[in-house]
Amino acid sequence: MSANPGEARVVRAVHGRSEKPADPAYQAGLAEELRQSYGRAGLIELYGRFSTGDGVVDTMMRKAIWQAITRRCGAGLQVAGGAGFKHPETFEIGDGVFIGAQAYIQGRYDGTCVIGDNVWIGPMAYFDARHLVIEDSVGWGPGAKVLGSTHTALPIDVPIIRTDLEIKPVRICAEADIGTNATILPGVTIGKGAIVGAGAVVVSDVEPFSVAAGVPAKFIRWRSENDPMTNMSREGRS
């Protein structure tokens, strides 16, 4: 009997349950050939040709270019159309990472961006990735953001945009789940297995296996059995 379309239902996760990925044999050779032939500037220009298409060639070339231009990139990378980057030479990407459509990772020339294994990044996500670590099996909701720096806004007789930047690292620990349109501010650590609610603005650390939500985000409760949010995180994102 088919499910009533008006009823809530539970379906099996896909990305979070994927087996260890493997690339076709030619993939590493293609990435190496691109690296040797184009160099970093050439690869960035080449990426523009394939950045938005949904076809097999566009998808393959996006993947190969990311593998060629990043500091390290594992197997099974998926990069959806319109995903962009800056200073990708500072990126270290694990196995089985998915980067959603129109997501943007803004690395910095003096920064480090580390993305662990089996991370799922939703569409239109934004990362100020000067000093960013996202550990393994993190789910990142659509439109969620990381900011890595703020202006000091001092002295007050100077336009804020001209004041110094204060830079702080951000760490998202393994198995955490960041809700849609949440914003993580500079210097914050999200603990292992924590859940950040949709639309939250996180200004301070979130304890492992806790649930935080709101503006500014506050501790709501510890994760527990029979909690729908807990179960969603445990099952992973589809």
Distance of CA 161 to the CA centre of its chain: 27
What is the side-by-side order of every strand in the sheet holding 195-196? 78-79, 98-99, 120-121, 139-140, 177-178, 195-196, 210-213, 218-222
Q: Locate tokens 């650390």: which residue?
A: 205
Q: Using 50, 70 and 90 to split pLDDT, how confident is the model at 193? A: very high
- Per-residue confidence (pLDDT) for residue 208, from 0 to 100: 97
Predicted confidence (pLDDT) at residue 233 exceeds the cutoff of 70: no
pLDDT tens column, 45-73: 999 999 999 899 999 999 999 999 999 99
Predicted confidence (pLDDT) at residue 217 exceeds the cutoff of 90: yes
Compute CA distances 5 → 98, 228, 237, whole Å: 29, 19, 21
Exposed e or buried b per residue across 92-126, where buried means at least 16 C-beta atoms within 10 angstroms of its C-beta: ebbbbbbbbbbbbbbbbeebbbbbbbbbbbbbbbb
The pairing of beta strand 189-190 with beta strand 210-213: unpaired
* 80: nearest Cα among 95, 97, 92: 97
Average pLDDT over residues 203-224: 96
Indicate the pTM of the whole model: 0.89
- Contacts with 55 (C-beta within 8 Å, 6 or more apart), sequence order: none
Minimum mean pLDDT among 90-94, 96-100, 226-230: which range?
Answer: 226-230
Catalytic sites, residue numbers: 151
Q: Check the CA dihedral 137-103-108-181 and report its sign.
A: negative
> Rounded to whole angstroms, how far apart are CA atoms 75 and 94?
7
